[in-house]
Structure formats: C-alpha cells, structure tokens
C-alpha cells in the first residue's frame, strides 16, 4: 500500500529527532535561527492576509536583507518550487520523526517557534486523515488562516514524490539568503561495481592441485634432506670423538 502525504502546519514541539543534531558546515547557528524565526513571521503575515505570491516575490524584490531572507525562507520551506529544501517527517509508531531539515527543526524548537511547515507521510490514507485532523485542529486554535493556507497548497516536490531513503542522489545546500550552492553528498557517491564471478575451470583447478602437491612434496624432501644432513653430522662427530677416546687410552698404557 502506498504511503499518504500531506503538507501540514505541525506544532514544532511534536516533531522528534531520531539522533542528536551535530553542527553542520551548511549553515551557521545564526542562519538556522533566522530560518526558524522567518517561518514564524511568514505564518504571521499569512494570518494577516498577505498573499503567498507577495511573500515569494520578496526573494528578488525585497528592499532589505531581512525581506530577501524572508522571501528565501518562503521559497525553500513553503513553495512548490523549493521542494528539495522542504521539511519532511514520517509518522511511525505514533511519532512524527523528522527525515529532512533536522537542523532547522532543532533551531525552531530551541527558539520556541510554535509551528513549522512540514510535509508529513503516513503509511495509509486512514492514518493520515486522523493525523491531519488532529494537527489542523491544534493549529486552528492559534490561526485558522494557516490551516486554510496549507489546505490550498498541498504541494508536490519537483520530482513528484516525497524523498525516500531509496532516492539515488541527495544535494546539500548553503543557507545564505542570497542563494544556495549545490553539490552531491559524498554518502551517495557511486560505489565501485562488483566484478562478475569467474566460472569454474576444471583444467585450471587440476593444474593448481598438481602444483600444490609438487610444492608439498618438494618441501617434504627438503625437510628430510635437512634432517639427514644433521644426523650425518652428529654421527661423524660421535665417530671422531670415539677415535680420540681410543687414542688417549693407548697413550695412558
């Protein structure tokens, strides 16, 4: 059964990280905190009636660095076009576990940002429907407008599917407000192909066995020759010593 996906305003404190978040070279603490606070500001503006088109346009038309950063945040975390940078979580065993955007979620939790835009995946439509109702009910107590926004923007990523662990490529990004750089993650570099197994060759195997037997026999003969040489030396030494003893006996007489 195919997993079900929805774009939801999730309470940040309900998102779980499956392992400790370590510092990343992709963004500074200040940049991560800026993204988290900008998401909260975007929700505030949406609730006040500002259009999504206006928010996204700030990316290029903003008159201040803060406005352009706000537009960049909207582009990456809210719009369809920024799908590869979105926040993603899987609902498994009653837990919402973050699969993408862990550093931004961690920054949002530390900054006490109440809600975050998350692309949620559940194992079936029934589970997703129950989860969506609960999440939307929670968000609507703060702002019904953000629930309406998410319902109107049930977005798809540019490749038409949520990221999975089987996807062949990943891209990392720079969180600078003026743009981002793209590079392949080393984790997903192509691995060397395995060589094909060689078919058995009876003739070659027989030759190898014969060579092995000859080598063992040669080593055995070498060992026997060495032992015989040591024995001959010992016998020779004993004979010489015996002759010396006889000569000494004759001299005493």
Which pair of structure tokens corresponds to residue 97? 């576990």
How high is the pLDDT of residue 74? 94
User: pLDDT tens for residues 37-76?
Assistant: 999 999 999 999 999 999 999 999 999 999 999 999 999 9
How far apart CA 106 and CA 188 sit, in angstroms, is: 24
How high is the pLDDT of residue 182? 36
Query: Closest by alpha carbon to 73, among 30, 38, 26?
Result: 38
Residue with the larger pLDDT of the pair 166 and 83: 83
Query: Closest by alpha carbon to 8, among 174, 104, 147?
Result: 147
How high is the pLDDT of residue 215? 59
Residue with the larger pLDDT of the pair 169 and 139: 139
Task: Tell me the pLDDT of the chain averaged across its residues.
Answer: 77
Query: Closest by alpha carbon to 170, among 160, 159, 185?
Result: 185
Q: Where residue 153 falls among pLDDT bands split at 50, 70, 90? A: confident
How high is the pLDDT of residue 241? 62
Q: Please tell me what DSSP assigns to residue 50.
A: -
**Rounded (10°) angle between helices 65-77 and 52-61:** 130
How far apart CA 6 and CA 155 sit, in angstroms, is: 8
pLDDT at 157 exceeding the cut of 50: no
Query: Closest by alpha carbon to 183, among 165, 170, 197, 193?
Result: 170
Q: Where residue 236 falls among pLDDT bands split at 50, 70, 90? A: low
Domain positions in the chain: 4-186, 201-253
Residue 98 and residue 17 in contact, taking contact as beta carbons nearer than 8 Å:
yes
**Region label for 191, one of left (φ > 0), alpha (ψ between -120 and 50) or beta (otherwise):** beta
Cα pseudo-dihedral 119, 124, 126, 130, rounded to 10: -30
Residue 121 and residue 89 in contact, taking contact as beta carbons nearer than 8 Å:
yes
């Amino acid at each position: 059964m195919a997993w079900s996906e929805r774009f939801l305003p999730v309470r940040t404190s309900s998102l779980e990280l499956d392992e400790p978040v370590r510092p990343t070279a992709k963004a500074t603490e200040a940049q991560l905190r800026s993204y988290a606070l900008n998401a909260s500001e975007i929700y505030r503006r949406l609730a006040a009636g500002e259009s999504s088109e206006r928010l996204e346009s700030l990316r290029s038309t903003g008159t201040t660095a803060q406005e352009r950063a706000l537009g960049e945040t909207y582009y990456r975390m809210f719009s369809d076009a920024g799908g590869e940078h979105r926040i993603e979580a899987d609902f498994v065993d009653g837990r919402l576990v973050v699969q993408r955007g862990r550093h931004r979620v961690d920054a949002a939790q530390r900054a006490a940002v109440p809600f975050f835009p998350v692309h949620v995946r559940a194992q079936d439509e029934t589970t997703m429907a129950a989860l969506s109702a609960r999440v939307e009910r929670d968000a609507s107590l703060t702002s019904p407008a953000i629930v309406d926004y998410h319902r109107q923007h049930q977005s798809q990523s540019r490749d038409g599917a949520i990221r999975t662990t089987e996807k062949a490529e990943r891209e990392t990004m720079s969180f600078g407000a003026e743009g981002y750089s793209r590079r392949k993650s080393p984790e997903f570099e192509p691995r060397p192909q395995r060589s094909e197994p060689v078919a058995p060759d009876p003739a070659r195997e027989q030759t190898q066995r014969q060579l092995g037997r000859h080598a063992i026999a040669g080593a055995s003969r070498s060992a026997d020759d060495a032992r015989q040489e040591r024995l001959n030396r010992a016998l020779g030494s004993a004979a010489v010593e015996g002759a010396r003893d006889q000569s000494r006996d004759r001299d005493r007489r």
